[in-house]
Structure 1
Amino acid sequence: MSNVREERLAAIHAIHGHNFENPDLIWEALQAHGSPIGRIGIRFLNQGNKGVALTGDAVIRLVVVNNGVGNNERTEAIANRIEALLSNSTLAAICDTVGLTGHIVGNPSQGGAVSAKLKATTVEAVIGAVFMDAGFEAARASMERMGII
């Protein structure tokens, strides 16, 4: 494992709080589309972190629905919370607030710029990576730690 990778993974552990069995998952979560990391283990990253982000999006929705139904909330209120929470602006703000933005491995052609969409995708990817590594409760705990819920 490279020093850059080790440093980033150690730094973001404080953000998500999960001890990964498979640290390749969280490393993948930090890769923007077009990052110089084209492969992690046997997985090719043709789209960067978008695969694990898709998982994270679904997990965030599931956690919010599960919490809302458990609290006897109206379905409209749950749907509105999901819509607000999963907006790029909300997730990008969370990315900045928890200090995740500086650990994203970006596309070199972007000159270091990190868009709100990439920040949002990365937050989703981190939650997706935690879920893929350890399941629902671990993902929910990381969401709480990151201030998503």
Structure 2
Amino acid sequence: MTSLRSSNDEAIQFIRGLTGYTPNDQSRLSEALQAAGYSSQDGNKNLALPGDAVIKVHLIMQGLQRHQCRERINIVVSSIASNDNLGRRGFELGLEQYIQGNPAQRGEVSTRTMATTLEAIIGAIFIDSGFDYAVISNVMARLGLGWPQ
């Protein structure tokens, strides 16, 4: 767990730099940074839902393109898309200072909150891009969430 705080403009610029994606509607990325309980009950969970799904689809497609067996694909998807891995990756990327957390968490960002935020960022970009899989493929690579070498 760690603490945060920066402006919304700084946060959007940081995410643009990380992902290489320029949003059409910055409000989606702003929402992606709002943990549950920050300003609404659900916070970024509605964006995390498609984000989680697109992460898994992306990894499955990478596995199929590499002619991997179903069991290997399942292992990789479970590992990379896990909350522990996504949370760890979010902290490695430095996202914690940009998350608007639930006031009850007193400025702390948990691994679970980080994982949900990373999923929400990917979900926001997927929706904002008009469901463009090529955009997501690039974003996933830039975030270091691709198939292991």
**TM-score, normalised with respect to structure 1:** 0.89
Matched, 1:142 2:139: yes
The amino acid across from 1:30 in the alignment is L
- Distance (Å, rounded) in 1 between the aligned partners of 2:68 and 2:11: 39
Instruction: Report the 3-state secondary structure (helix = DSSP H, G, I; strand = E; otherwise coil) of the residue aligned with 1:32.
Output: coil
- Distance (Å, rounded) in 2 between the aligned partners of 1:46 and 1:110: 14
Matched, 1:5 2:8: yes
**Aligned residue in 1 for 2:3:** none
Q: State the Cα deviation string for residues 46-75 of structure 1 (Å, max 9, x = none).
A: 300001101000000110111111111101
The amino acid across from 2:21 in the alignment is H
- Aligned residue runs from structure 1 range 64-75, under 5 A: 64-75=59-70
- Distance (Å, rounded) in 1 between the aligned partners of 2:101 and 2:31: 12
**Aligned residue in 1 for 2:31:** 28
Q: Percent of counterpart pairs with the same letter?
A: 35
Matched, 1:125 2:128: no
- Distance (Å, rounded) in 2 between the aligned partners of 1:126 and 1:27: 9
Give 1:102 shift.
1.2
Answer yes or no: is the 8 Å Cα contact 1:65–1:78 preserved in 2. Answer: yes
Answer yes or no: is the 8 Å Cα contact 1:34–1:107 preserved in 2. Answer: yes
Give 1:6 shift.
1.3
- For structure 1, the 5+ residue unaligned runs are 39-44
Moved over 6 A (4+): none
Give 1:17 shift.
1.5
Q: State the Cα deviation string for residues 102-135 of structure 1 (Å, max 9, x = none).
A: 1111111211111110011111111111111112
Instruction: Report the 3-state secondary structure (helix = DSSP H, G, I; strand = E; otherwise coil) of the residue aligned with 2:72.
Output: helix
Figure out how many residues of one structure are paired with residues of the other and give that number.
139
The amino acid across from 1:143 in the alignment is M
- For structure 2, the 5+ residue unaligned runs are 1-5
